[in-house]
């Protein structure tokens, strides 16, 4: 039996950033989960049976004491997978993940591991980071579909002065592909991968 691939969702923020948008990346050991070139550029794709892990990283040129996750949600909005004249549109199920009945996965805040601190030089200045990884994972199911993915994170930042502040960060990429509508010209490599570019669904109907 082939070992399932493993996907890492990395969500990064700066403790002093003005905006709420997270810097995000989906990656796997055998290649990018959100490629920037080729047919699937700008899309996120999953492999059926894949294990999805989450890591959150806080950073800043100002050194800070710590941060903790207060809540974390991964929201999947199902898209149309099939539509035909005279018939109702068919949508993907609410979530591409096994064991999730609805569209929102609440990641338990107390399941994030202890923080790992690191400092690096950026442009002649020291940049401090602390990362925390979710101890569990989500498993991508076998159902075909296409989903938009949103990620919302609330954190509490503790500065070296002892002052604490709470911030909400999020990302909301477009044209996300999940777990498996088969493109008409998908290669036949047999690896179970199901990928689609933005706006392309089963039967070539734009979303």
Give the integer Cα–Cα distance in Å for 106 and 152.
10
Residue 177 has pLDDT above 70, yes or no: no
Pairing of strands 46-47, 193-194: antiparallel
Can you give the residue ranges of every domain in the chain? 6-194
pTM higher than the cut 0.85: no
- Cross-strand bridge partners of residue 138: 52
Q: Is the distance from CB of 48 to CB of 194 less than 8 angstroms?
A: yes
| pLDDT tens sequence across 91-143 | 989 998 999 999 999 999 999 999 999 999 877 899 999 999 999 999 988 88
Q: Contact 75/95 with Cβ under 8 angstroms?
A: no
pLDDT, tens digit, for every residue of 135-162? 999 998 888 788 888 999 999 999 999 9
Q: Is the dihedral of CA 11, 16, 17, 20 positive or negative?
A: positive
Pairing of strands 51-60, 46-47: unpaired
Distance, in Å, from the CA atom of 173 to the CA atom of 150, rounded to the nearest integer, reads 7
Q: With beta carbons less than 8 A apart as the criterion, state whether 13 and 59 touch.
A: yes
Would you give the DSSP letter of residue 110? Answer: G
């Amino acid at each position: 039996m082939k070992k399932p691939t493993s996907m890492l969702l990395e969500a990064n923020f700066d403790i002093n950033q003005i905006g709420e948008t997270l810097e995000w990346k989906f990656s796997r050991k055998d290649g990018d989960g959100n490629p920037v070139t080729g047919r699937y550029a700008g899309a996120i794709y999953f492999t059926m049976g894949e294990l999805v892990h989450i890591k959150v990283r806080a950073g800043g040129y100002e050194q800070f004491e710590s941060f903790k996750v207060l809540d974390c949600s991964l929201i999947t909005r199902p898209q149309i997978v099939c539509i035909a004249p005279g018939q109702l549109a068919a949508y993907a199920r609410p979530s591409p993940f096994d064991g999730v009945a609805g569209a929102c996965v609440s990641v338990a805040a107390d399941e994030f591991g202890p923080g790992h601190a690191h400092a690096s030089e950026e442009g002649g200045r020291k940049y401090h980071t602390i990362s925390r990884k979710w101890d569990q994972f989500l498993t991508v199911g076998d159902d075909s579909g296409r989903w938009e993915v949103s990620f919302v994170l609330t954190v509490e930042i503790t500065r070296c002065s002892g002052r604490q502040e709470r911030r909400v960060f999020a990302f909301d990429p477009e044209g996300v592909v999940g777990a498996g509508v088969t493109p008409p010209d998908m290669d036949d490599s047999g690896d179970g991968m199901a990928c689609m570019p933005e706006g392309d669904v089963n039967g070539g109907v734009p979303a």
